[in-house]
Amino acid sequence: MAEAPRFQAPTGTFDVLPPASARWQELLARFAGVVGGAGYGLVINPLFEDVGVFLRGIGEGSDVVTKEMYEFVDKGDRRLALRPEGTASVVRAFVQHRPPVPFKAWYATPAFRYERPQAGRYRQHHQLGIEALGSEDPDLDVEVVALGHDFYRSLGLQQVTVKLNSMGDRDCLPAYRTALAGYLEARAGDLCAEHREKWRANPLRVLDCKKPECRAATADAPKTVDLLCEPCRKHFERVRTGLDDIGIAPVLDFRLVRGFDYYTRTTFEFVAEALSSAQNAIGGGGRYDGLVESLGGPATPGIGFGMGIERLLLACDAEGVMAAPAAQVDVFVVDVTGGAQALSLTTELRRAGVRTDRAFDGRSMKAQLRAADRSGAAVAVIIGEDEVTAGTAVVKAMSGGARQQAVARAEVVSTVRGLLTGSAGIEEFDGEGTA
């Protein structure tokens, strides 16, 4: 058995290599298509920020900030942190650059959290997300939830539930917190070990604690939606009817207070019913109407979501959808004359826009044909000494009876293109050739 390599990907991280990475590429392209088509533009932020962006933005009441953040001091003595999520950085950039509103952005980013690694929970995971800043219109909440929902649908996922809640705002959330604290005080002894100690500091965290003790103790806890102020109640009502109008039926979940301090009003989560509960939150988000101000900007409402790519792919596997996309190349050039022909033919084909690969190192015909097969190419172009002498190449269909035809060297590109676009069927070939 080969010795384990000395260096491996750090615990809780992993490599994505081809061909598996083709699925990631496909996912990104489809996401860009869905959200780009709704007016969201790509935003690219640094992977690290001044630690204050996350302390102030996400809040010191969240586990992500207090327990899981990768913090470091750089050579210039700056306190920095790797981004544990995307929202705070997008908002920091908004405050810095003040683009016109509504500012609608999407991103694909790694996120770093020092968690206990397990299936669907990593120390570096990857998120696709959107953020929309500058409008408190509840129809924007509907748009954001709908884009997530419709993206999952476009992948073929059928078993995704939308969970919905409203957290209230700075007017009604404090009163709710007090009511919840009052409720918990009488049951503090029944909570899990961690929350028995800490429930007072942030009672909301007890609500989304997954431990059975906390879940039992909070079964009859007051619900945010019962204590909303009038503007929040109206907002929530409009979100619900808006979703209903476009055929999305969310499940109300009073525990959905989410793990970050920045949320106000609408919160939501996308749950993959095909996965086990430890990893079935495949996306989540909500409104954060105070976040821009917390990071030093003018009062500006915002809403968005993030979805974990790894969990999304697990959900796709569980439902048997979003198979790996077909081959990356259409043509494989096989040259058994030393490689010069392959060099010129692949260049010609690629310059003509045909996805083309070839073998290197003067490998045998058999090995090159095997490589052609593995590449998934629909067509092989084969050149041996006879073809060089005759000024031809053999164009061979890789499937459908492996028919082939010798064509003039100058006509290889047009023949291949005709085959690939279906305008010249390989069945027209008469089977001549040298391969």
Show contacts with ligand HAM in window 111-140 (CB under 6 A).
Answer: 113, 115, 120-122, 125, 127, 129, 131
Strands 281-287, 103-112: pairing is unpaired
Binding mask 245-264 for ligand HAM (x = CB under 6 A): --------------x-----
Q: Does residue 281 bind ligand HAM (CB under 6 A)?
A: yes
Residue 152 phi/psi, 5-degree rounding, is -60, -45
How far, in Å, CA of 26 to CA of 353, rounded? 19
What number of chain residues touch ligand HAM (CB under 6 A)? 26
CB contact set of 296 (below 8 Å; sequence gap of 6+): 95
Residue 137 CB, nearest distance to ligand HAM (Å)?
Answer: 17
CB contact set of 185 (below 8 Å; sequence gap of 6+): none
How far, in Å, CA of 171 to CA of 168, rounded? 8
CB-neighbour burial class of residue 115 (10 A; exposed 0-12, middle 13-18, buried 19+): middle
Q: Which string of DSSP letters, residue by residue, matches 370-430?
A: HHHHHHT-SEEEEE-HHHHHHTEEEEEESSSS--EEEEEGGGHHHHHHHHHHTSS-GGG--
Q: Does residue 285 bind ligand HAM (CB under 6 A)?
A: yes
Binding mask 349-368 for ligand HAM (x = CB under 6 A): --------------------
Residue 283 CB, nearest distance to ligand HAM (Å)?
Answer: 5
How far, in Å, CA of 435 to CA of 422, rounded? 23
| For ligand HAM, the closer CB: 88 or 426 | 88
Show contacts with ligand HAM in window 308-327 (CB under 6 A).
Answer: 308, 310-311
Q: Choose, by CB under 6 A, the member of 85, 253, 289, 319 that binds ligand HAM.
A: 85
Residue 97 CB, nearest distance to ligand HAM (Å)?
Answer: 18
Q: Does residue 87 bind ligand HAM (CB under 6 A)?
A: yes
Candidates 23-31, 101-109, 278-286, 399-407: pick the segment binding ligand HAM (CB under 6 A).
278-286
Q: Choose, by CB under 6 A, the member of 306, 334, 405, 426 that binds ligand HAM.
A: 306
Show contacts with ligand HAM in window 138-157 (CB under 6 A).
Answer: none
Q: Does residue 282 bind ligand HAM (CB under 6 A)?
A: yes
Q: Which string of DSSP letters, residue by residue, matches 337-377?
A: SSSHHHHHHHHHHHHTT--EEE--TT--HHHHHHHHHHHT-
Binding interface with ligand HAM (CB under 6 A)? 85-87, 113, 115, 120-122, 125, 127, 129, 131, 259, 281-286, 304-308, 310-311
